[in-house]
Amino acid sequence: MEQKFQGVIAVVLTPFNEDDKIDYSALERLIEFMLSKGIHGLFPCGSFSLGPLMNPGERKKVLEFTVKVNQNRVPIIAQIGAINTQTTVELARHAQSLGVDAIASIPPFYIPTDEEAIYA
């Protein structure tokens, strides 16, 4: 099913506390603030959200929390790109199980890869 996204798709920054743990209270306030301002979609776990610096478990929890707080008010596009294919596939399946509207990924960035390997 083709879906067109329009408007402002907001990056969901990931707040951390002084102990380097995700601050879910601050994350909820941020999501609610963005929704109250009329954004048209949420984009969690991308580069500006520090997704690549979080472990897969943290990324899954942030996405689960974002879906819960959002309550289907706007589309969610989950960034699932990782340094290895196995983690990328794991995050994609998790995002699908949560019913996000779309996923976004990045091509491999550490080891040079041709297009044939990316599509495989």
- Digitized pLDDT (tens) for each residue of the chain, 120 residues in all: 577 899 999 999 999 999 999 999 999 999 999 999 999 999 999 988 988 899 999 999 999 999 999 999 999 999 999 988 899 999 999 999 999 999 999 876 666 667 776 666
Q: Which domains does the chain have, with CATH numbers?
A: 9-119 (3.20.20.70)
Residues 51 and 14 sit within 8 Å (Cβ to Cβ):
yes
pTM over 0.95? The answer is: no
Q: Helices (H) and strands (E) in the chain — how many of each?
A: 4, 4
